[in-house]
Copies of this chain bind each other. A is one copy, B any other.
Amino acid sequence: MVVVMAPGATEAQVEAVIARVRQAGGEAFVSRGVSRTIIGLVGDVEQFRALNLRRMAGVAEVIRVSTPYKLVSRHHFPSRSTVVVGGSGGRPEVRIGPEYFTLIAGPCAVESLDQILETAELAKAAGATLLRGGTFRPWSSAETFRGLGRSGLHMLAEAGAATGLPVVTEAADARDVEAVAEQADMLQVGARNMQNFALLDAVAQSGKPVLLKRGIQATIEEWLMAAEYIAQRGNLNIVLCERGIRTFEPTTPATLDISAVPTVQRLSHLPVVVDPTHASGRRDLVLPLARAVIAVGSDGVLIDVHPDPESALCDGPQALAGADVRVLASAIRRLAPLLDRDTADVTSVLVPEPR
């Protein structure tokens, strides 16, 4: 920490700061400038924060120079991590990390067993190794489809079993986490819930890997602190998911922060994937953005696919269907190897013709 004294601060005020820091067991190094004096603090940052130094007479500013997260920081764990999903109940292990490019695909919401089975086939044919589908969906307005709940969860698990894909679904309420964790291989924490700490507690304790979406309003630091919160509760199997931030630009529902991928990879050892579907809200933007996501060096991509988007109960306008899915599969197979990443072994492009 650095304490910046106000221009007119007296020697006594400087001494008072030093004294308080020393009393708390820290050391203080003073740099006296012509117009300003700054004091570097050495010791336990948490303790310094309790000192309320900013409130002391003559203090202009207190600047924190270390990061407020440790377990998820790359400073402390320089190697990038690989998170393993699945591996139980007969479903294969899927790895998300620096050596892979993982396609996570599925419908916005599970609507029926037929729909999720058909979508799972579509996803798998495109090279997806994880199946995602909404079952307990958060409210966003009275007219939002809130999901099929437990029955949707069973359908999702059945579709995963049928196609050999581990499944991921969102838990939006701490009280649903146990039920969801029984069926799902990975739990998604949605953007609206990134700072819902009751929910973070529950998913941490579930023991399942967590897909942690960035809040639409969250800085990268706040996002990593939410991951730190989960990690502190004993669960380090966290995959971060960038999904766009809120800005003044109205043409897209959110502005995809593509720079967040290399930034997070520099700050944290956790894998990071990107959801271009919800950031862009338009099918015609999803494919170019998916290519950018691969090229920027993301560890994976999350894409909404649906066998018949026009009939989808939610987010139809942004879901990819047959032909687009084939283009996506092809883009992944051509681009990901250039970034030294393994992808699913899709020997032939199996994506069924669109209905």
Contacts and interface: CB of A to CB of B under 8 A. Distances in A.
A12 interface: no
B33 A259 contact: no
Contacts of A83: none
Nearest to A139: B197
Interface stretch (A95-103, A116-124, A305-313): A305-313
Contact of A246 (B248, B260, B266): B248
A348 interface: no
Given A55-B316, A259-B252, A68 B4 contact: no
A217 B248 contact: yes
A147 to B, nearest CB: 12
A251 interface: yes
A150 interface: no
23 contacts: A2-B63, A28-B31, A29-B31, A33-B41, A33-B43, A34-B42, A35-B75, A52-B312, A68-B143, A139-B229, A173-B174, A174-B174, A196-B199, A217-B246, A219-B248, A219-B249, A245-B247, A245-B248, A245-B249, A256-B258, A258-B258, A259-B285, A335-B338
Interface of A: 2, 4, 6-7, 27-36, 38, 40-43, 46, 49-50, 52, 54-56, 61, 63, 65-66, 68, 75, 138-143, 172-175, 192-193, 195-199, 215-217, 219-221, 225, 228-229, 232, 245-252, 255-263, 266, 279-280, 284-285, 288-289, 291-297, 309-313, 316-317, 334-335, 338-339
Contact of A316 (B27, B52, B255): B52
A285 B309 contact: no
Contact of A247 (B68, B247, B310): B247
A285 B257 contact: no
Contacts of A263: 251-252, 285
Copies in the complex: 4
A336 B279 CA distance: 25
A266 to B, nearest CB: 7
Contact of A288 (B42, B257, B296): B296
